[in-house]
Amino acid sequence: MKKIETKLKAIDFFCSGGGMSLGMQQAGINVIAGIDCDPECKETYEFNIKGAKYILADVFNLREKDLLKDIDIKKNDDNLILIGCSPCQYWTIIRTSKNKSKQSKDLLHEFHRFIKFYNPGYVVVENVPGIFKKTGESGLDKFIKDLENRGYSVHREIVNLNNYGVPETRRRFSLVASRVTNKKIFPTPDNTNPVVLDFIGKKNGFAKIPAGYKDLTDFKHTTAGISEKNLKRLKLTPKNGGSRKSWENTELQLEAYKNKKRKKIISFSDTYGRMSWSKPAPTITTKFFSISNGRFAHPEENRAISLREGATLQTFPKKYKFISNNISTIARMIGNAVPPLYAKQIGLSIIKNNDSN
């Protein structure tokens, strides 16, 4: 397929391991830099996102003019895309410590500073739906109103990425804005609705492996270890979509749910469950390597999905190289990523608009 020629260039704020940047590159956009405060992402990002500079910086301490020293950009550039896909733990519905992620709730405010300073042709924001449900607290209302006052045409939606070819039930808030057109810019769903079997499993090149397997190659078909008790639980969990209900009345029942009436239990029922071959995966989070953090057990094998399986469900190419010896670090890069396939579709929608002007 012939690569699309475009003058568009992008800076990817909160780039992590490079999911959004990769998709934009695949669309044909020149990604000139990624910005993130995590030093553990640098090597992975620079290895895979060829030609882009990784700027290691905390956006709270980064001044707008600082970018002029690091990369060749200018203000009021119609071809410049600023992308802000900030970490979303504070706004997620998943039960996490909000104290640990409290600072992340203000990242949109910080990204906004750079929009006002550079006045780019295009703005892209991607986050969890929670940021849209609390627009006052998140600053989204103010952000959108300011864009509109500056002459941007703003389109935003909450989308299920399974409608865009991603094999997950991953619901996200997406915003694409432009000041060079009044046309709606947003990718069109392909409604292919792929499932787990379309991406992982033996027919897709994934060998059968045990829990605790360490793949020393770049493929990283590595799995976390599992306790003897959890192994017993998985053996009792029906294959292909089974849940923890199969052992809830045994000595293997989770301590938190013992001696409680089921109807009074408020819990995430997917924990310790298996994925189903014929359904999309749940949202791949930063903890997908652990069966206690969601429906992350393999449909058949007695283990959580591997690092590479998680990356593949996130639509990273199998040749994408994650550089770290730490399973949590790699899982964080994968779980925090915008699926490259969806990012590519956003990029193509911007290119289509740019070419028509």
Count CB neighbours of 267 within 10 A: 13
Cα angle 307, 17, 6 (rounded to 5 degrees) comes to: 125
Residue 184 token pair: 């709606």
Q: Identify the CA nearest to 254 among candidates 236, 233, 239, 275.
A: 233
Distance between CA atoms of residues 179 and 150, nearest Å? 8
Q: Exactly one of 15, 41, 85, 88 is catalytic; which is it? A: 88
Q: Is 85 a catalytic residue?
A: no
Residue with the two structure tokens 């964080």 = 332
- Report whether 78 contacts 121 (CB < 8 A): yes
What is the bridge-based pairing of β-strands 171-178 and 153-160? antiparallel
- Cross-sheet strand order for the sheet of 153-160: 53-56, 30-36, 9-13, 80-84, 122-127, 171-178, 153-160
- As a whole number of Å, the CA-based R_g of the chain is 21
Residue 333 token pair: 């890069």
Q: b/e per residue, 27-53, with b = 16+ CB within 10 A?
A: bbbebbbbbbebebbbebbbebbeebe
The residues assigned a catalytic role are: 88
